[in-house]
Each structure stands twice: as C-alpha cells, then as structure tokens.
Amino acid sequence: MSAVLAYGLAGAALIAIGLYALIVRRHLLRKILAMNVVGNGVFLVLVALAKRSAVPDPVPHAMVLTGIVVAVSATALALALAVRVRDATGQATLDERRGTAAEAGRGRDAPG
C-alpha cells in the first residue's frame, strides 16, 4: 500500500512543520496558516489510513469533510479576530519583547 505510506508520512510531516511554525512564528496570520497546515496533516493521516483496504472506509471521509468545514469556520473567525487585534493595537504580531500589545500600542519604550 504505497499510497497509504506516502500520504500518511506526508501528513505526519505536515503536523510537525505546522506545529513548529505555530509555536515559533510571531505574526498572527502566520499562526493561523500554521494551524491550517496541522489540520491538513491530520486529514491526510486519517484519509490515508482509510485507504488501507482496496475500497476505502467511508467513515473517516465523512469525518474529514466535517473537519474541512469546521477548519474554515474557525479560520474565518480567527482572521476576523486578528483584524480586530490589528485595529485595536496597530500590530498583528505576538511579541514578548514589547510586553503586552496594549503597552506596545501606548509606547515603544515600555519594558517587556
């Protein structure tokens, strides 16, 4: 079952890459992209495992279909929240060096 192997491992790689970027990247949009990448990796693993038999198992397909819609809903809300953060504080990153975003909005010299 080479298809299962290739896509399942690709899914695992996507989960790892997305998780690293989610933690390390500071820009909010980048974090949202990273969460979507992790989600896509999970879907890949699920659907790859569903293909272990010649005729695939339909239950993981239905679960991933649900997952795609929920992921887009969450992304839409997350983007709206990010835009709100940007409008309220003037920046769209989570940056520990400048303390809270509110302090950064008030002045650049507030210590972290």
Partner 1 sequence: MPLLVRFLAATLSLAVGGLVAWAVLGLPESAGLREAVTAQMDRSGVSHPVTAVLLNFRGYDTLLEVAVLLLALIAAWSLRLAPPGRSPERPGLVLRELVRLLVPVLIVLAGYLLWLGAHAPGGAFQAGALLAGAGVLLALVEVRPLGATPPFALRLLAAAGVLVFLAVALLAMWGGRLLEYPPEWAGLLILAIESAATVSIGLALAYLFRGDEPTTHREGGERT
Partner 2 sequence: MDAIAQLSLAAIDVVLALALVGLAAGALSVRSLFTGVVLFVGLGLLLALAWVRLDAPDLALAEAGIGAGLAGALLLAAARRLAGPVHRERIGDDEEA
Binding site for partner 2 (CB under 8 A): 2-3, 6-7, 9-10, 13-14, 17-18, 21, 24-30, 32-34, 36-37, 40-41, 43-44, 47-48, 50-51, 55-56, 61, 64-65, 68-69, 71-72, 75-76, 79, 82-83, 86, 90-93, 95
3-state secondary structure of 86: helix
User: In the beta sheet, which residues pair with residue 27?
Assistant: 93
Please pick, from the candidates 29, 33, 74, 92, the single residue that binds partner 1 as defined by CB under 8 A: 74
DSSP codes joined into one string, 16-85: HHHHHHHHH--BHHHHHHHHHHHHHHHHHHHHHHHTTSSSPPHHHHHHHHHHHHHHHHHHHHHHHHHHHH
CB of 94 to partner 1, least distance (A): 11
Instruction: Tell me the C-alpha distance between 95 and 25, whole Å.
Output: 10
User: Which one among 47, 48, 101, 104 touches partner 1, defined by CB under 8 A?
Assistant: 48
Which residues of this protein are in contact with partner 1, per CB under 8 A?
1, 4-5, 8-9, 11-13, 15-17, 19-20, 23-24, 26, 41, 45, 48-50, 52-53, 55-63, 65-66, 68-70, 72-74, 76-77, 80-81, 83-84, 87
